[in-house]
């Protein structure tokens, strides 16, 4: 490991520590949510998967999950997976942002609606 990687790991640990403190002491719900998301992003592995042991996703937000066999899009409520076998889910990751429609997309929709 070179000096840059070591410094990055040290900085990541410091940021993670600060975010955990902020999430535990703040009374502002918005700040707590930002801190929790920051924690999730800091502990994300290079491939994007986050262990459920490290962090659960924000409630009500759809995420990609892994149960050792299948990838599924699920969400949590009150910190619990909303599915038949929640104990099998080991990892999750945020979904990518949806594509942005272009002018061509709108034109195609209008043409389809007109039957042309």
**Helices and strands, counts by H and E, the chain:** 3, 6
How far apart (Å, rounded) are the C-alpha atoms in residues 58 and 75?
8
Higher pLDDT, 94 or 42: 94
Burial of 86 (0-12, 13-18, 19+ CB in 10 A): middle
Our count of domains for the chain comes to: 2
Shared-domain flag, residues 51 and 34: no
Shared-domain flag, residues 15 and 34: yes
**What is the mean pLDDT of the segment spanning 3-14?**
58
Shared-domain flag, residues 31 and 54: no
pLDDT digits (tens, 9 = 90+) for 20-77: 777 777 778 877 777 776 666 666 555 778 888 888 999 999 999 988 888 899 999 9
Shared-domain flag, residues 93 and 108: yes
Shared-domain flag, residues 73 and 21: no
Helix (H) or strand (E) holding 3, with range, is helix 3-25
Burial of 38 (0-12, 13-18, 19+ CB in 10 A): middle
How much is the pLDDT for 42?
A: 64
Give the residue numbers spanning the domain of 12.
1-43
How much is the pLDDT for 46?
A: 55
Shared-domain flag, residues 8 and 37: yes
């Amino acid at each position: 490991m070179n000096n840059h990687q070591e410094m990055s790991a040290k900085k990541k640990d410091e940021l993670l520590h600060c975010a955990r403190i902020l999430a535990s002491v703040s009374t502002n719900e918005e700040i707590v949510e930002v801190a929790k998301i920051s924690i999730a992003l800091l502990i994300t592995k290079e491939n994007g998967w986050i262990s459920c042991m490290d962090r659960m996703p924000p409630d009500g937000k759809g995420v990609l999950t892994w149960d050792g066999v299948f990838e599924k899009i699920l969400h949590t409520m009150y910190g619990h997976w909303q599915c038949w076998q929640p104990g099998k889910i080991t990892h999750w990751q945020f979904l990518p942002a949806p594509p942005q429609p272009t002018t061509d997309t709108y034109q195609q929709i209008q043409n389809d609606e007109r039957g042309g």
